[in-house]
Chain A
Amino acid sequence: MSNLESVLANILPKVEKPARYAGGEWNQVQKDHSSTLVKMVLAFPDIYEVGMSHLGSHILYQVVNDRSDALLERVYAPWADMEHELEKAKIPLFSLETKTPLREFDLVGFTLQYEMTYTNILNMLRLGNIPIRAANRCEQDPFVLAGGPCAYNPEPLAPFLDFVVLGEGEEVLGEIIDVFKDWKLRQGKRRDFLEAVARVPGVYVPSFYSVSYGPDGLLKSIVPTKSGVPKQVKKRVVRNLSAALFPTHPVVPYLDAIHNRGMLELFRGCARGCRFCQAGMIYRPVRERSRETLLKQAKELLGATGYDEISLSSLSSLDYSEIEELIDGLVENYGPAGVRISLPSLRVDSFAVEQAQKIHQVRRSSVTFAPEAGSQRLRDVINKNVTEEDLLVAVRSAAEAGWRAFKLYFMIGLPTETDEDVLAIAALANKVANLSLKSGRINRVTVSTSNFVPKAHTPFQWEGQLPREELKRRQQLLKDSIRGRKLEYRWHDPDQSFLEAVFSKGDRRVAAALERAYQLGCRLDGWNEHFRLDLWEQAFADTGLDPSFYANRIISEDEVLPWEHLDPGLSRSFLWSERVRATQGLATPDCSRERCSACGVCAALELPIQHRGEGL
């Protein structure tokens, strides 16, 4: 037993869920460090259970470990008890596979899934003995990179990251490893590698760009400071999803992960065009996997993991062009063996209910629909092309099929929202609860509201979030109007949403507040029991930043956006026209089924414009 392992044996009995840090799971890949040229660790800045449920991590794990010249290990954010024990025992944060301290890897890659994990990134760097700021890292320190959805505006993290990957990681990571290998064999300087990697399409090196601000505090320009560095970094995507690698033998967690099941990825992207939805914009275009590929992958996945449940995970899985045939095939192959099939959420229509019924999701759980807004007017604003009638029909067929409990998801504070729109949520929930049914019964209707957070690269990127007091007032308004024994109301903390807005629209100046908050002890901000608004307020005050400048201000059309130099392929004019259409209540159809809405992505990425199911 190595020294670290014997210390661990003393520490682990003292922490909650020690299996989070033990590793050794089925399908884990352990490679010899001395004979492997490129050593990378995938750092998920949240706890193990959350990270193990992330499909993208499993993909990258297999992509890198399939190479003979590279290895990829895993590390997750330690829970507060483990952080305390690590510090007490003076042992650095280590990878699960070989218990190697973070510092000893060549590349430390963070995935940015949501803004509330940012302090965890700084904390994991510190616990791994890596200098927090990229500028302070020296020749023997690892390179710290990041990717994932929040990488489309990584500016609040810019000083802490050596480089950022835009788009689908499996498409780029191989090239990065090749560049690194080359550089390592040449024994180059740190700066040489950054210059080389900046030339890989999809790679953004923040330190090679200079940002200037006007006297009014507004962003003036973001320009490359080196030749050969692109003015705008364009994202990378997998062109043929059927041919792309899929993790058919992912690590099987011992601990019940949030999704303790196999994941099947039917397609990437979603073109429904909901105007608030960042995923629906940045993951375009829609690319499907063929049904044969999926059935084959399901077989391999179940054979290699032993899961008794397989989830169809994509943005709106029922939009898959051959969803009926796929579900029928899976039910036929695995139903008798007791393998369940699950859908993460249901589209608001009766077809969705039929499919859910087919996989016996009835009685297993409640059914969730997301109308997002209470009134038709506001649903038109956000381009959620669902009518009240659609919802009532879907609920009725679900109730008659045997479901008793319903969850309805809405957003509060959407652009143009009025009190009438808020009250319409309660009215709609009431209608659902009191539907007249031929058979079945509705026992419970749970209304959940999240708070609108304007996101970069969406038509609402120019919008400001409502002040927290106003969000709280509207929540109260809804609370007061949701009455009835079947109805229940749940809401999201506006303080957390406010912070999320600051980071989703923040520029490089926000980094100072982030670093200060982390110094003050902010961690695990996405967990209510750890979120400390008072410390965050102090951090903003200490660094002289006004958070509402980022979260609440409406940005004018001619302003330079902090993410202007990062390009998911969407044209600015498309996003702006969508914003205008929103105020006019005009619908924009799903381009994966109807006409092209000229968002610019296919042209920018040189992909053919195709409907779903074409070219499979």
Chain B
Amino acid sequence: MFEILVFATLNGLVTGLLLFMLASGLTLIFSMMGVLNFAHASLYMLGAYFAYSISLYLGFWLGLLIAPLLVGVLGALIERYGLRRVHQHGHVAELVFTFGLAFLIDEAVQFFWGPDTKNYQSPDVLDFPLFTLFGQEFSAYRGFMIGISVLIFIGLYRLLTRSRVGIIIQAAITHPHTVANLGHNVPLIFMAVFGVGSALAGVAGVIAGPVLTTFPGMAAVLGSIVFVIVVIGGLGSLAGALIASLLIGLLQSYAIASNLGVADLLNLLGLEFSRDHPLTDLWTLTLPQIAPILPYLLLILVLIFRPTGLLGNREQ
């Protein structure tokens, strides 16, 4: 039991931090522009595919460097020529635009790379077990994933709170007109933030590709979860996104690790149940089975009881 608990925690941490890498870019974009970017997970997928193609020629490490840059530039272009254009038609148009973009990117990935899973491998340097605990290996690559995520969090946090650019960004979030009047180029800042946010999604894709399988459905698998995190954490709050990511990563990991089910609950209450009952699906429900829908349950509860999210301070 203890070994499962330890590994479930580690797994939850890896998933949570990966989710955070995605959520951080999304929440940054949201706090700047008020846009929930539906295509964010698609950009994450693009990161993985770009890195896969680059790694075929230049190896993993150059892929890690170049792919996020490409995704970042693409993000900036999307902001400049897409979002800025639909912005005048209001928030719904913006959401719908990113929704369509997600659709298009998914199709484009299938067009260029085909529908198969891709053989995108982690680098040989990291192909060793970092440590072995209770007979199970924890690969060095997962350790590397944790490391990168933590670095990104620290970097972002320092950038936003300590640097001049960060101060301008923070000001532009709340008082865009004042910042513009001070002579700063607000549209440029928007474009840059969108680019950086996309690049972060790209990084997440590059490092997640080898462990989570690079295939056209990888955006869909993560897509809505990332929104859930950003909303639960509180729209626009970086710390909230971190907490929510870890919360959801751990929640899912523990749920899968457990063997509890409704049947156990009934036994605990001293109730018997028969398999032929019309509600048998409900009686035989187990926690691992519903693990993937727990985040949505949490989302609805949070939105009903605390619409601002855990650390958010505004309702959009």
User: Do A and B bind?
Assistant: no
